[in-house]
Amino acid sequence: MAYALLGGAILAEVLGTTSMKYSDGFTRLWPSLGTAAGYLIAFALLAQTLKSMSVGTAYAIWAGVGTAAIAAIGMVFLGEAATAAKLTGILLVIAGVVVLNLGGSH
């Protein structure tokens, strides 16, 4: 159940961050509300996750997967450059999350 909550928190954070891109500096109402709702839901679900998962593991997965997903969305859908450095960075973020989980931080 904790991983399902964490997955929901990641999805909400990614949707909130993507909405922020379209909020034009919080000058557009609906994307701005989407940003606020996404982050509110993300933090609420993350808080529930922390009831049954260690903070190090949960936050590493939440931040790492969210960061990698946003970077990929930027490159695939928003026309950002897919440079070798960016792709390497995404791989390193994912590797870091895996190493933290293998390190027994549960």
Distances (CA, A) of 86 to 2, 10, 23, 71: 30, 20, 24, 8
- Report pLDDT for 105: 52
Considering the chain, what is the average pLDDT of its residues? 94
Q: Is the pTM of this model over 0.75?
A: yes
> What string of DSSP letters covers 34-64?
HHHHHHHHHHHHHHHHTTTS-HHHHHHHHHH
- Report pLDDT for 76: 95
* Per-residue model confidence as pLDDT tens digits over 19-28: 999 999 999 9
Residues 8-36, mean pLDDT to the nearest whole number? 98
* Per-residue model confidence as pLDDT tens digits over 45-77: 999 999 999 998 899 999 999 999 999 999 999
Residues 7-24, mean pLDDT to the nearest whole number? 98
